[in-house]
Structure 1
Amino acid sequence: MNVEKEYIKLIFGLKLKQARTNKNLSLFGLAKLTELSKSYLNEIEKGKKYPKTDKIILLAEKLEVSYDHMVSLKLDNNLAPIGEILKSGILKEIPLDIFGIQENDLIDIIANAPAKVNAFISTIIEIAQHYNLTRESFFLAALRSYQEAHNNYFEDLEQKVLDFSKAFQININTKISIEDLTAVLTEEYGYTIQEIVFSEQEELGDLRSIYVPKSKTLLLSLDIDEQQKAFILAKEIAYNYLEITERLYTFSWIKFKNFDEVLNNFYASYFAGALLIPRKQLVSELNLFLAKSDPKPQEMIQLMSQFNVSPESFYQRLTNILPKDFLLKNIFFLRLSHKIGADTYQIKKELHITNQQEPHANEMNEHYCRRWISVKTIVESIKQNKSHFFDAQISRYENSGNEFLVFSSATEDPFKKDCLRSISVGILITPGMKKKFKFIDNKSIKKQIVGVTCETCAVKNCEERASPPVQLDLKIRNENTEIIVQKYMAKFS
């Protein structure tokens, strides 16, 4: 059996702790019995140290267990679940460190109630399998939690962008050109950049770039527009300037080998967004926009066009700036995808800053609310044949009563043929938010009661409904059944 050394130490520590507790001994008591220090024994039990043979013999003798039992990698039935977790390597997959959790702390929690914790972990795994959640889904969920924990604002990366612009004399107060980005990569970092037709290979149809590290060659698809090219080049600069080595080599990504690649991909993307949309300039432009009493959709599109970025990059940048500079911390970000002619819409990306979780992705193939502005912009983009359709509305979520001002842009999906996508940012409406948005009470902004999915929505007489509220009906039926059951319980008690 090939088990890492640290896990051998952990397993021995678990067995020692089990043997000690079986004898009703405290660490203090075992220390007196063996004349070993309490701190040393504690280090062993936590899996930080592995005792020498003579110490194992001494411990086995005092605890009245065999030497072979102590050094065996086989755990008793009640600890077996921990062994399976350790051998599976799942703890290596969980990015505990970014949440400030030590692996040994988690092992200690598991050791104190192995059966219950194992049942919990097994349940999580079963749910993940039931909903077809992949390893990548797990990594991306962990990344979202990391972003949300920091309000999606990272001061160190913002400063790195300023340091870079000064070191390379890049004027970030003007729209950065492809030529400037290319020059940095070729002259400073020794890149060779070639443009080729990826679409000639069907399997490469969704890719926009490939980086070949051995020759420092960046292959760019001829199908990408200037904004996509700018983002890819800025991201490559980020990988080099931030000295990131564990990275992805394709855009978009194919698979992640580990969480470090996920996190580094995010860091590079954040840097690229902050470079192409400088914080100071965006704050200034947003202040001008928010001061308007009746802004028109075209004015938001014009604001976006001041930066050499796609609508998605612009909306992503809003999720960095609004919480930090405008103190608007109840925000969601959504990216929806839709194939022309289909009746389905899929959430491909989401982010919720703070704890407001509406709307949210649903893995049960339910129909997202057709009253969402995220859906409506896609519908109108097709109907009006516009390359970029922007709109906004105030959405009041029927289940929670929360109201959000939601901005949404629909464009062609650059990665999928005959597909459109919408990018949306929703901002929770509060008294403080209303003071910043001068146009929030303007009657030109549509107001709409919305749900999350049709199957769970209680909105009456909804003409846009794509499916009956089957999940809601089932919930109500079960609640009514429970009421009747309780009446019988009372009657026959």
Structure 2
Amino acid sequence: MEQEYIKLIFGLKLKQIRTDKELSLFGLSKLSGLSKSYLNEIEKGKKYPKPDKIAALSEHLDVPYDEMVSLKLDKNLAPIGEILQSKLLKEIPLELFGIQESTMIDIISNAPSKVTAFISTIIEIAKNYSFSKESFYLASVRSFQEANNNYFDHLEQAVISFSKTYQVDLTQPLNSKELEEILIEEYGYTINKSELESHTALDNLRSIFIPKTKTLLLAKHIDDAQKTFIYAKEIAYNYLKISERLYTFSWIKFENFDQVLNNFYASYFAGALIIPRTRLVADLKLLFSKKSFKNRDFERILNNYNASPESIYQRLTNILPKDFNLKSLFFLRFSYKKNSDNYILNKELHLSKQQSPHANETNEHYCRRWVSLKVLKDISKTNNTHEFDIQISNYPNEGKSYLVLSSATADPFISDSYRSVTIGIQINNQYKKRIAFSKSKSIPSAEVGVTCERCTISNCEVRQVEPIVVLSKLKDEKIAHVVNELQEKFSTL
């Protein structure tokens, strides 16, 4: 298996390099002097070239020899490497997805977005022990976002084209009235703002779209920012000519992957329309130019747009990697019931790699030192409409630190319930180059863990349970040490 794996990885890398350089197999054959059929066998993982042939490929493709023979893959191929090493393909019923194992390598070597997202999904599901259809689809989209650094230029350009076509001024805050007029006049919508109120079973829904009559039913109690976002999503479905779509917001169920992907595309378009890239980049440049961080400066950005904090935080995950090269970041959304001790992490996104704070499927206790949880606790004790806090979170076990910003608001659909949204930016060289207040000592700093069960911080005043995972590991290590001593002692008799 080791030799087979090495051949497959080399073939995948060669195909990616050739494709990136826009070379056909015929073109690479002429360039390198190796036959087209031989190169094809290499790319399929059936042959591994001798050193002199690798040297020829390295020279003509302008790629270092060591890089070509390395088993290390870039992030777009990394999921394929992981799945090949783990032998997960042997355990998954591929026939359910219409895939034969014999042709799987040929399919994934092309690495189209959906297939790459699919492979990442399998790994993530295996880690999280969740096999529901909804989890599978959502994880697929999340992997798709991560593979593209959550930035999609064709959607950004579509927003700009739409604004020109319909004379929407992206330099000013949008309101629902302007978008409602476009839906009615241009797309023939009927807006009904009273029907949903008479159906108590639908209290958690914000909207339902009836395609046959183009009727949009709206919940009466949503604010203008929520209404604007719903209208912007409906415009996205129409302007982008998306037919395979969801009809409720929030969603009830997904029938297929395309519905989930298109729901993401429509949400992205809506966010980019309401929170235009040019304006947000300018706001962030001003914020990052300051030598010290003040809460009011960031809250001013939140107030600059007719959007919820969650929409703005989500939009930051598009803009920070693209325009500020801050790619090592995460997004979290928690929900919390007043006076309870249960914090539910129901949405997350990690760019570049899986950062430390992440969802746990085994009912462990999230670290109470996280600012994400602190703002939820704070808002549940006040009548504030918005609670904001900031923190430098240091993970001592991993030697990594993050600038973490978090906002909490009341859940408009569930009484005595609250939600927090959080963005964390890894403190690295890019962070220090881009952000002037990176040297400021005014931001509070704290050592944090992931869950209490896995935390090594001693004497933690907010610990919920003993670090049972850590203690179990230490116990196993002690047993292994004693066994080794006994092995040595009695091996000399």
The bucket for the TM-score relative to the shorter chain is 0.7 to 0.9
Residue in 1 that maps onto 2:445: 447
Report the CA distance shift for 1:124/1:451 in structure 2 as closer, same or farther (over 3 A). Answer: closer
Give 2:96's match in structure 1, choosing from 84, 88, 95: 88
Shift of 1:83: 12
Give 1:210's match in structure 2, choosing from 208, 228, 238: 208
Residue in 1 that maps onto 2:284: 286
Q: Distance in 1 between matches of 2:173 and 2:124?
A: 47
* 1:288-341 deviation digits (Å, cap 9, x = unpaired): 111222342233222111111000000000000000001111010000111111
Residue in 2 that maps onto 1:61: none
Residue in 2 that maps onto 1:321: 319
Specify the code of the residue in structure 2 equivalent to 1:209. Answer: S
Residue in 2 that maps onto 1:114: none
Q: Distance in 2 between matches of 1:284 and 1:173?
A: 11
Shift of 1:134: 1.5
Q: Distance in 1 between matches of 2:460 and 2:99?
A: 46
Report the CA distance shift for 1:428/1:418 in structure 2 as closer, same or farther (over 3 A). Answer: same
Shift of 1:101: 4.0
Specify the code of the residue in structure 2 equivalent to 1:239. Answer: Y
Q: Distance in 2 between matches of 1:126 and 1:372?
A: 26
Report the CA distance shift for 1:301/1:98 in structure 2 as closer, same or farther (over 3 A). Answer: farther
Residue in 2 that maps onto 1:431: 429
Residue in 2 that maps onto 1:470: 468
- Tell me the secondary structure at the aligned position of residue 226 of structure 2: helix
* 1:268-303 deviation digits (Å, cap 9, x = unpaired): 000000000000010011111112223422332221
Give 1:406's match in structure 2, choosing from 404, 407, 410: 404
Mean alpha-carbon deviation: is it higher for 355-364 or for 212-221?
A: 355-364
Specify the code of the residue in structure 1 equivalent to 2:296. Answer: Q
Matches of residues 75-154 of structure 1 in structure 2 within 5 Å? 85=93, 87-89=95-97, 91=99, 100-101=110-111, 131-154=129-152
Give 2:179's match in structure 1, choosing from 178, 181, 189: 181
Residue in 1 that maps onto 2:376: 378
Q: Distance in 1 between matches of 2:458 and 2:91?
A: 53
Residue in 2 that maps onto 1:456: 454
Contact 1:99/1:146, CA 8 A, preserved across alignment: no
Specify the code of the residue in structure 2 equivalent to 1:368. Answer: Y
Shift of 1:404: 0.4
Q: Distance in 2 between matches of 1:82 and 1:452?
A: 32
* 1:447-474 deviation digits (Å, cap 9, x = unpaired): 0000000110000111011111111111
Q: Distance in 2 between matches of 1:300 and 1:433?
A: 17
Residue in 2 that maps onto 1:170: 168
Shift of 1:142: 1.4
Contact 1:98/1:146, CA 8 A, preserved across alignment: no
Q: Distance in 2 between matches of 1:351 and 1:124?
A: 12
Q: Distance in 2 between matches of 1:288 and 1:404?
A: 21
- Tell me the secondary structure at the aligned position of residue 284 of structure 1: helix
Residue in 2 that maps onto 1:305: 303
Contact 1:397/1:449, CA 8 A, preserved across alignment: yes
Report the CA distance shift for 1:124/1:488 in structure 2 as closer, same or farther (over 3 A). Answer: farther
Give 2:329's match in structure 1, choosing from 309, 331, 336: 331
The yes-or-no answer on 1:267 pairing with 2:236 is no
Shift of 1:180: 1.1
Report the CA distance shift for 1:444/1:86 in structure 2 as closer, same or farther (over 3 A). Answer: closer
Report the CA distance shift for 1:269/1:483 in structure 2 as closer, same or farther (over 3 A). Answer: same
- Tell me the secondary structure at the aligned position of residue 338 of structure 1: strand
Contact 1:330/1:356, CA 8 A, preserved across alignment: no
- Tell me the secondary structure at the aligned position of residue 414 of structure 1: coil
- Tell me the secondary structure at the aligned position of residue 335 of structure 1: strand
Shift of 1:386: 1.3
Shift of 1:372: 0.5
Q: Distance in 2 between matches of 1:201 and 1:91?
A: 44
Specify the code of the residue in structure 2 equivalent to 1:478. Answer: D
TM-score between both structures, scaled by the size of structure 1: 0.75
RMSD: 2.8
Q: Distance in 2 between matches of 1:258 and 1:202?
A: 28
Report the CA distance shift for 1:102/1:424 in structure 2 as closer, same or farther (over 3 A). Answer: closer
Residue in 2 that maps onto 1:29: none
Residue in 2 that maps onto 1:230: 228
Contact 2:332/2:345, CA 8 A, preserved across alignment: yes
Residue in 2 that maps onto 1:110: none
* 1:18-40 deviation digits (Å, cap 9, x = unpaired): xxxxxxxxxxxxxxxxxxxxx9x
Q: Distance in 1 between matches of 2:410 and 2:315?
A: 20
Residue in 1 that maps onto 2:157: 159
Report the CA distance shift for 1:218/1:97 in structure 2 as closer, same or farther (over 3 A). Answer: farther
Report the CA distance shift for 1:90/1:413 in structure 2 as closer, same or farther (over 3 A). Answer: farther
Q: Distance in 1 between matches of 2:146 and 2:112?
A: 20
How many residues are paired up? 396
Q: Distance in 2 between matches of 1:467 and 1:90?
A: 45
Contact 1:197/1:223, CA 8 A, preserved across alignment: no
* 1:357-401 deviation digits (Å, cap 9, x = unpaired): 211100010110000010111111123331101110100012211
* 1:6-63 deviation digits (Å, cap 9, x = unpaired): xxxxxxxxxxxxxxxxxxxxxxxxxxxxxxxxx9xx9xxx9xxxxxxxxxxxxxxxxx
- Tell me the secondary structure at the aligned position of residue 444 of structure 1: coil
Q: Distance in 2 between matches of 1:283 and 1:137?
A: 33
Specify the code of the residue in structure 2 equivalent to 1:333. Answer: F
- Tell me the secondary structure at the aligned position of residue 395 of structure 1: strand
Residue in 2 that maps onto 1:349: 347
For the pair shown, which has the larger CA radius of gyration, 1 or 2? Answer: 1
Report the CA distance shift for 1:479/1:82 in structure 2 as closer, same or farther (over 3 A). Answer: closer
* 1:379-437 deviation digits (Å, cap 9, x = unpaired): 11123331101110100012211110011001012343321111000001113312322
Q: Distance in 2 between matches of 1:179 and 1:301?
A: 25
* 1:79-127 deviation digits (Å, cap 9, x = unpaired): xx989935534759x9x98995489x99xxxxxxxxxxxxxx8x99887
Give 1:361's match in structure 2, choosing from 334, 359, 362: 359
Contact 2:175/2:225, CA 8 A, preserved across alignment: no
**Percent of residue pairs bearing the same amino acid type:** 51
Residue in 2 that maps onto 1:67: none
Contact 1:373/1:393, CA 8 A, preserved across alignment: yes
Contact 1:371/1:464, CA 8 A, preserved across alignment: yes
Residue in 1 that maps onto 2:241: 243
Q: Distance in 2 between matches of 1:353 and 1:344?
A: 27
Residue in 2 that maps onto 1:195: 193
Contact 1:293/1:438, CA 8 A, preserved across alignment: yes
Q: Which runs of 5+ in 2 are unaligned?
A: 1-36, 45-88, 117-121
